[in-house]
Amino acid sequence: MHPFAYFEPTTVDEAIALLARHGGDAQLMAGGTDLLVEIKESLRRPAVVINIKKVPDLGGLACDEAHGLRIGALVTVRAIETSAAVSRLYPAIAEAVREIGSIQIRNRATLVGNVCRASPSADTLPPLIAAGTVAAISGPGGARSVPLGEFFTGPGRTVLTAGEIVTAIALPPPAAQAGASYIKHGRRRAMELATVGVAVSLRRDGDVCRDVRIVLGAVAPTPIRATAAEMLLEGRAPDPARLEEAGCAAQDQSRPIDNVRASAAYRRAMVGVLTRRAIAAAWERTT
| 189 makes contact with other proteins (CB under 8 A) | yes
| 1 makes contact with other proteins (CB under 8 A) | yes
Length of the chain: 287
- Left (φ > 0), alpha (ψ -120 to 50) or beta: where does 191 sit? left
**Burial category of 47 from C-beta neighbours within 10 Å (exposed 0-12, middle 13-18, buried 19 and up):** middle
β-sheet with 178-185: strand ranges across: 178-185, 196-205, 208-217, 224-225
| 193 makes contact with other proteins (CB under 8 A) | yes
Instruction: State phi, psi for 38 to the nearest 5 degrees.
Output: -70, -35
| 43 makes contact with other proteins (CB under 8 A) | no
Among 192, 210, 225, 286, the residue binding other proteins under the rule CB under 8 A is: 192
Among residues 36 and 146, whose Cβ is nearest to other proteins?
36
Among residues 2 and 88, whose Cβ is nearest to other proteins?
2
Radius of gyration of the chain (CA): 19
Among residues 48 and 165, whose Cβ is nearest to other proteins?
48
| 214 makes contact with other proteins (CB under 8 A) | no
53: number of Cβ within 10 Å: 15
Using CA atoms in the order 108, 113, 115, 120, what is the torsion angle rounded to 10 degrees?
-80
Among residues 161 and 263, whose Cβ is nearest to other proteins?
263
CA 201, CA 61: separation in Å to the nearest integer?
Answer: 22
Nearest distance from residue 198's CB to other proteins, in Å? 12
Instruction: State phi, psi for 34 to the nearest 5 degrees.
Output: -90, -50
Whole-angstrom CA distances from 138 to 20, 163, 168 are: 12, 8, 10
Among residues 71 and 281, whose Cβ is nearest to other proteins?
281
β-sheet with 5-7: strand ranges across: 5-7, 48-51, 26-29
Binding pattern for the stretch 258-277 against other proteins, x by CB under 8 A and - elsewhere: --xxxx--x--xx--x--x-
Helices and strands of the chain, counted as H and E runs: 11, 14
Using CA atoms in the order 29, 33, 39, 45, what is the torsion angle rounded to 10 degrees?
-30
Among 66, 188, 206, 287, the residue binding other proteins under the rule CB under 8 A is: 188
Helix (H, G, I), strand (E, B) or coil at 282: helix
Nearest distance from residue 252's CB to other proteins, in Å? 17
Among residues 135 and 276, whose Cβ is nearest to other proteins?
276
Among residues 41 and 150, whose Cβ is nearest to other proteins?
41
Among 35, 71, 243, 249, the residue binding other proteins under the rule CB under 8 A is: 243
Q: Among the candidate windows 111-119, 124-132, 158-166, 254-262, which touches other proteins by CB under 8 A? A: 254-262
Q: Among the candidate windows 18-26, 145-153, 155-163, 188-196, which touches other proteins by CB under 8 A? A: 188-196
Among 66, 84, 187, 207, the residue binding other proteins under the rule CB under 8 A is: 187
| 185 makes contact with other proteins (CB under 8 A) | yes
Q: Among the candidate windows 83-91, 130-138, 230-238, 256-264, which touches other proteins by CB under 8 A? A: 256-264
- Would you tell me which residues interact with other proteins (CB under 8 A)? 1-3, 41-42, 185, 187-193, 240, 243-244, 260-263, 266, 269-270, 273, 276
